[in-house]
Chain A
Amino acid sequence: MTILADAAADAGPPTSPPAQRRGRLPGCVRIGLLLTPALTVVGVFFAGGVAQAIAQSFGYQPSLPGARISTDAYTALWSDPAVRASLLLTGRVAVVSTVLSAVLGVAAALTLRRLGRSRAWVTGVFQANLAVPHLVGALCMLLLLSQGGLLSRLTHAVGLTASPTAFPAVTNDRFGWSIIAEYVWKETPFLTVIVLATLSRGLQDLETAARSLGASRSQRLRHVTLPILTPALAAGSVLVFAFAAGSYEVPYLLGRPYPATLPVVALQYYNATDLTSRPEAMAVAVLITVTSSAIVAAYLTILARLSRRAL
C-alpha cells in the first residue's frame, strides 16, 4: 500500500509555483473575503428560505387573521396517507436512480477511457446531454414511452401489440419507472463526465505500477481504480440523489397525482386555495430538507469509512 501511496504522490501533476503574496492579508482572511459575495447570496436565499419555511410550518402567517403558532401542520402530515405513500415513492425513485446512474456512469467512463480516436466524439455525445433541461427530458420520455407514444406505435406497427393499451404502462405508473428512466438518462452522462475527469494520467501510472506488482485486472479495479474514483463519484452521486429527491417537474409530468413524490405533494399543498393549509406545505418542504440531509450525511459517513478501508 505504501508503495502505491508514494506512487500517487509522485504521479500527481507538477504543483504550480506558490502564488505571489499580494498585500499583507493573511491567506485565510483573503479567502474569506473572496468567498463573501457568493456566501452572502447562498446565505440570504438558502438560509433565509429555510428559515421562512420553518417559521411558516409552525403556523407563522402574519397576513392571515387567526393564525397561531403550533405543531398542527406536522401532526396533519403524519396522518395524511398522501405523505406516507410519498415518502416511500420518493426514497425508491431517488435511491434506484442514483445507484443505476452511478453504476452506469462508472462503467461508461471506464469504457470511454479505453476508446481510441473515437473517444472525443463519444465524450461529446455524453456532454451534449448535459445541456438538455430535465423538463425536455421528461417530455421526451412521455413521447417515447407513453401508451400513445413512439415505442407503443412501433410495437403496434410491427404487430407486437394489438392496441395502444396493450403496451405496458410505464409512464404515470405506480412504481415510477419512467421517472427513474429520465433521471438515469440525464444523470448517467453527468456522472460519466465527473468520473472521466478523475481518470487522469496519474491513475494510469498507478495502474501500471500495480500491474507490474502482479495485481490482476479485478484487483486493479478494486484496489486502485475505484478508490481513486470514489470521492468524485460520491460527490456527484450526492448531487444526483438530492436532485432526484427534490426535483418537481419530472415526477409531475411522468408520475401520478397519488402517490406522488414529496416535491409534488409539497406543491399540491402549497397550491391549495385554502390558505390554512400553507403551514402543511412548508412542513412538507422542511420534511424534504431534513430527510435529504439525513440520507446524504449517512451516505457520506459510510463512504468515508469505505474509502479509508479500501486505501
Chain B
Amino acid sequence: MTRPAIARPTRPTHRPAPRAGRRTRLAAVLGAGLLAVTACGSTKATSAAGAVDASDWSSVLAQAKGQTVNWYMYGGDDVLNTFVTGYVADQLEQVGVGLKQIKITDTVDAVNAVIGARQAGQNSGGSVDAIWINGENFATGVQSKLWNCGWPGDLPNSKYVDFTNPGVANDFGVPVNGCEAAWQQANSALVYDSSKLSTADIASVSSLIAWATAHPGHFTYPALPDFTGSMAVRTILYDTIGGPASLSGPFEQAKYAPAATKLWTRLNALAPSLWRGGATYPQSQAAVEKLYSDGEISAFLTYGPGAVGAQVSKGLFPASTRETVPAPGNIANVSFLAIPYNAAHTAGALVLANVLQDPQTQLALYKAEGIYPGIDLAKTDAATQAQFAAVPISRSVLPLAALTRHAQPELASGYVSRLEHDWKTQVLQRSR
C-alpha cells in the first residue's frame, strides 16, 4: 500500500492545462483501457493433463532437476516456516530441486491466483506450483477444475499412505479422486491457563461454556470464516447435537436446519460472556493467540496443539499453559498438497509431494511442531515407529495418543460453508 508520489504543490495560479495535452492524455488512457479489456479474452476449459508422467518416477526426477518450486502456503506459523525453508528445502536440494516458499495469509489467496491465471487464459507456465490445502479451498478448485489429478498413487512414498482412511479419501466430504496428496493431520485441542481453569472446567465443552459464563470476557474465538473459528463453532455444534453422525454425508437442508437453530441459540446465549461481551470477535487466530499472551483471555481452541510448547518456551504463553481434549472429543482432518493444472514446475512439485510423505520428513515435522503425520505409522518399519514414540514433548502439549483418541471427522464442506455464512447473519450481525 504505497501512496502515489505527489507533484510539488503548485503555486496558486489557475492556468488551465493546454487542451491538446489533455486530449492526448484522454486518448492514452482510453487506448490503454481498451487494450486491457481486449486482452482479457475468454478462456476455454482445458483438461488438466500436466506434461509429466508421474508413473515414470525416474523421468519425473530428471525433469525436476534444476526447477524451483513455488510453494504457496499459509505463512502464519513461524515454526512450520523454519521447517519448510530448512529441512524440506535441504531434502529437495539433494535431488537438485529448489524451493521457494510463498507465504500467504489465507490459502484462498493462492486459489484466487490460479483462478485469475485461468481467467486470463494462462493454461501453462503458471506461477503457483503447489498449494498446502484442504477443505473448502480444495472444493473451490474442484468446482473450477484447477487441479492436476491422478498422481498421488504414483509417488514412491505413497506406500506409507492409507488411502482407505476416510480422512485421506475424502477432504471435508469432497472425494479426493487423486487430485491432492496427504501431508499432515491436524487435531484440534483446547489450550488453557491451568492457573485460571480447573480440571472440572475443562472436562467437557459444556463445562467450558459454564466456566466462560461464570468468568465473562475470558474466552473467545476468531470471527468466521477463519479456519480455527469455524472449527470452534463446529466443536460447539458437535457437543450440541451429540457428535457429527447426524450430519454425515453431503449437505442436506432438512438435517441442517434444526441442528443450526439449536447451535445459534446456544452461541447467542454464550456471546455476552465472551471477550468484549461478544460485541465483536477477533479477526484471526493470530489475534486470539495475542489476546491469550496478553492475558486478556484464558483459553482458546487451536488446530495446532503441537506449536504451543514452543510458545511457552519462548515466554509468549504463561508456563501454566496446558492442553486438553474436552468431551465429547476434538476434530481431526488431513491437509494435503495440491498441484494446479497450469503449474510451471509440475515435476518439481511432484518431488516435493513425495519428500513430504517421507517418514523421516514426517518425523522431523512431528519433532519440530508436534504435527501428527499424514501417513499411516502402522505402514512404516518398527524403527521409525520407535523414533516417533521417543520424541520428547513439552509439558504443555498433549501426547499423540490423547490427541487422537477421541478424534471426530469433519463435516462435508457444504455444511461448513453454510455454517460460516449463517454464523455471520445469526451471531456476528446480532452482536451488540
Interface residues of A (CB under 8 A from B): 8, 12, 26-29, 31-32, 35-36, 39-40, 42-45, 47-49, 51-52, 55, 61-65, 81-82, 133-135, 146-149, 164-165, 169, 172, 174, 194, 197-198, 202, 227-228, 230-232, 235-236, 239, 243, 247-249, 252-253, 256-258, 270-275
The yes or no answer to B384 lying at the interface (CB within 8 A) is: no
Which residues does chain B contribute within 8 Å of A81, judged by CB atoms? 425, 429
The yes or no answer to B296 lying at the interface (CB within 8 A) is: yes
Minimum CB–CB distance from B289 to chain A (whole Å) comes to 12
- Select one of A172, A230, A235 contacting B276, CB under 8 A: A172
- Check B140–A63 contact: CB distance below 8 A: no
What's the A-B contact tally at a CB cutoff of 8 Å?
Answer: 173
Minimum CB–CB distance from B284 to chain A (whole Å) comes to 9
Which residues does chain A contribute within 8 Å of B283, judged by CB atoms? 252-253, 257
- Check B28–A231 contact: CB distance below 8 A: no
- Select one of A45, A133, A256, A275 contacting B144, CB under 8 A: A275
Closest to B108 in A: A271
The yes or no answer to B295 lying at the interface (CB within 8 A) is: yes
The yes or no answer to B39 lying at the interface (CB within 8 A) is: yes
Interface-lining segment among B4-12, B155-163, B353-361: B4-12
Q: Mark B396-432, 1 if CB is under 8 A from A, else 0.
A: 0000000000000000010001000000110011010
- Check A39–B144 contact: CB distance below 8 A: no
**Docked CA distance A28–B30 (Å):** 18
Which residues does chain B contribute within 8 Å of A39, judged by CB atoms? 25, 28-29, 32
Of the A-B pairs whose beta carbons lie under 8 Å apart in the complex, a sample of 19, sorted by A's number, is A29-B20, A35-B25, A39-B32, A47-B29, A47-B36, A48-B32, A48-B40, A52-B40, A63-B119, A82-B429, A135-B1, A147-B296, A148-B294, A174-B280, A194-B9, A197-B8, A231-B12, A247-B1, A248-B1
Majority secondary structure of chain A interface residues (helix, strand, loop or mixed): helix
Minimum CB–CB distance from B259 to chain A (whole Å) comes to 20
Interface residues of B (CB under 8 A from A): 1, 3-4, 6, 8-12, 18, 20-21, 24-25, 28-33, 35-37, 39-40, 42-43, 45, 106, 108-109, 111-112, 115, 118-119, 135-137, 139-140, 143-145, 217, 223, 225, 276, 279-283, 290-291, 294-296, 413, 417, 424-425, 428-429, 431
Excluding A39-B28, A164-B296, 8 further A-B contacts by CB distance (< 8 Å) are A29-B20, A44-B32, A52-B40, A63-B43, A63-B45, A64-B143, A133-B1, A271-B225
**Docked CA distance A247–B144 (Å):** 30
